[in-house]
Amino acid sequence: AQEVTGMVFQPFSEVQGELSTVTQAPVTDSYARVEYHIECEAAINEQINIEYTISYVYHALHSYFARDNVGLPGFAKFFKEASDEEREHAHMLMDYQTKRGGRVELKPLAAPEMEFANDDKGEALYAMELALSLEKLNFQKLQALQAIADKHKDAALCDFVEGGLLSEQVDAVKEHAVYVSQLRRVGKGVGVYLLDQELGEEEA
């Protein structure tokens, strides 16, 4: 038979290297893993812990504002939704880790503070400034994760972080910054009550 010329991609010969890694892999290894550096895997696990930790803090804030002697249910609702969102981010990262053939390693979570009263600023401003700081810190952590992905030329991980997490984090920083500005403007009086009403009426 006449040999076919001009062929560039020869799958049956080129796939042999990958095929050997699949056929020789022990059952404890992932068959899906490809071009996934161990530093990327470790960084994903670290970010999972960060997201869960921030969720834990927000849940503590929710519990505080839900108290009858604090009486700010709108803020309680806001921080409950924020806690749920951070936990969902952790789930996204866990799903991605599994998809890439990595192994999820859950780490201990630091116990958050449970008291947020502040005589100088009031608990609402104090809590929102804390939340804004956490959102900014999380943005920096996500940038560090993206840098590790870029270092190892992991285009898939870069796309996941930039498209699925970083862009949303920018919005979260802006949202919290606006609330901090509003709380600084209204002080500790009736303005806090009005903002609490607004937060309670907003849809998730």
Query: Residue positions in the annotated binding site for Fe cation?
Result: 51, 86, 89, 135, 169
Contact 140/91 with Cβ under 8 angstroms?
no
Helix (H, G, I), strand (E, B) or coil at 111: coil
Task: Please tell me the distance from the alpha carbon of residue 65 to that of residue 122, in angstroms, as a whole number.
Answer: 12
Torsion of CA 188, 191, 195, 201, to 10 degrees: 130
Amino acid present at 7 = M
Which residues participate in the annotated binding site? 51, 86, 89, 135, 169
DSSP for residue 33: -
CA distance 137 to 111: 18
Displacement of CA 185 from its chain's centroid (Å): 30
Radius of gyration of the chain (CA): 23
